[in-house]
Structure 1
Amino acid sequence: MRQKIVLITGGSSGIGRSVGVYLQSRGYKVFGTTRNLKNHSEFSDFQLIELDVRDSEGIEQAIKKLMISEGFIDVLINNAGIGITGPIEETPEMEIKKVFDTNFNGPINLIRAVLPFMRKQKSGLIINITSIAGYMGLPYRGIYSASKGALEILTEALRMETKDFGVKITNLAPGDFATNIAAGRYHAPAVHSSPYYKSYSKSLAIIDEHVNEGEDPVKVAEMVLKIINTKNPKVHYKVGSPMQKFSLVLKKILPDKVYERLLLNHYKL
């Protein structure tokens, strides 16, 4: 049987690396992407490709090279993403655009690049890694929530558009996991003169605490493998603590203002 080819964006660290290592150990041939190969000269878990998801031309070239060398792309995992925190009023427009270029436009560019090949193969699976945060507007994480929520909705449309091509597309929304995302996240400065200073500082401490106390990202990898082995994947999957998943149930059944009050209490606002 032919070894299946998996491409994971943002594969050099965090969830992407955990997923890549796990799938490689299960017999898949994994390729991960990173923006700068020079920073990962000692990386040996699987093969890395230099690729910036914000560069549409670079994406097309990378996908063509991969197809020439391997002949197939069986699974695309759109994992590359960046975090951002801050009052929406005070977050620089450039940083907002950067987040959407990475978390939303980037996956679109990858999908547009692989779909012609997957159509020709009459097979393929695309997993968009979103976030449980994409299901709700979280205080001081509104930009991040919006970028991930947009990708969730996009996937719903794509599934219907591609249903006749043998291509499967789904979302996987993780909760908080112990990764290095906080280190690379853009934080709008907590300025003493800002009217948001007190509440933003308090929320920021709680946000970082959630990441530091997050679960092992291997749980995301296990869910990815489960999706790969599912004949007809669902539209949405979630992986996280019972409380994080239960919060989504509460959002469906509670009145909006009641749920908003729960979030305000959680973030001590």
Structure 2
Amino acid sequence: MRDDGTLDDPNAPSSPTAEMEEGTSTERTTAAGRLRAYARDLTGRRRAQVALATGVVCCLGLAAVVQVRDETAGAATRVDPTASVELAQRAEQEHASRSLDRSAAPTTPAATPSASATSANPDTTARARKTASAKPTKPAPVAGLDRAQMDNAEAIVRTGRDMGVPRRGLVIAVATAMQESNLYNVASGVLPESQNYPHQGVGWDHDSVGLFQQRSSSGWGPVGRLMDPAFATRQFLSALQQVPGWQQMRLTDAAQAVQISAYPEHYQQHEWRAVRVVDAIAPAGE
């Protein structure tokens, strides 16, 4: 109804102003929808771009990890063929040498080492030198002698051999000492000086001393020297060699020619024992 009381005609055309307002409203609605649609589209694109960027970054990261792993695996599996061959050969040689050691173990008594092996071993060389430099073993006492008597007899024999005296002279010297001192280095009770030297008993036959009971007062030598078995032996054998034909004499006669004893026949009883002693100390043929 209009202001003038007439009814509006529904079929009547609308006024220009109304149409303009209606068009403007429609246009506004359309523009807002388009704006909203554009905004939605822009938002979707941005999300898609972000998603794409995120995917690209993830892919790049995975690719980097895969590449590092591939390179590590490649480095571990890339072995120099020459080094592999050398390692294989070395392992084979070590196995062979160990097998050789086991199979070479002696099952029978070891053979005598060669001269070169002996000289290369310091322990063997030291033992050889020690053996070479060791003193000869003392002969065991024989003919009823004790160790001290055997040592004195050995001193007589060694001294006589150093002098080049024949074997017969050695037997005569040992037999004479058996009779004179019983093969002990005896000092004299008459000469206290003689007791200042190593001795094995004291006698009282005037000033006689030593193995051969030689007297310093008779010109045999100084008391101290006569108490030395080697010196006393040299004195006796030197005098014996001055006796003409002593080697063809009976033992007792040869000894008496040197000693001038009151009992000249007593030396003879010791001959067999003297022979055994000399043979023990210096076997025949040496």
State if a TM-score over 0.5 links the two structures: no
Question: Which structure has greater strand proportion?
Answer: 1
TM superposition score normalised by structure 1: 0.24
Question: Which structure has greater helix proportion?
Answer: 2
Q: Which has the larger radius of gyration?
A: 2
